[in-house]
Amino acid sequence: MFKTLRCFARGHDGKYEAICIDLDISVVAGSIQDVQRCLGEAVEMYVRAALQEEPAVARRLLSRRAPWHVRMGWIWSFALHMLISQPSGHDRTMHAGYEMPCPA
């Protein structure tokens, strides 16, 4: 069974951070491609480790979410950026929302 995880990435001045709000895992890297790759690797390692646990523990680990205020902050930041971003490309920040498949 595959689960779809909600992820967000943002960058400013060459530093990018990404979070999987459904598992409360975040990473930092030097490019959007690197941060998305690193987040994918971190999620994969976390899921593999969780699945090695007893079923009750695995269920708890795989249903862990970022705190509500963190989730809302990222969603709000992404939505606001989409509403006010400049199409001319003068904005030096970048926000992306994306989904990641997870075999859990």
The model carries a pTM of 0.76
Task: Give the pLDDT confidence of 58-100 residue by residue, as tens digits.
Answer: 999 999 999 998 888 888 887 777 777 655 554 445 556 666 6
Q: How far apart are CA 75 and CA 95, in angstroms?
A: 10
Q: How many degrees, rounded to 5, is the angle at CA 24 between CA 61 and CA 4?
A: 80
What's the pLDDT at 27? 96
3-102: CATH number: 3.30.160
* Segments making up each domain of the chain, as ranges: 3-102
Is the four-CA dihedral 21, 30, 76, 101 of positive or negative sign? negative
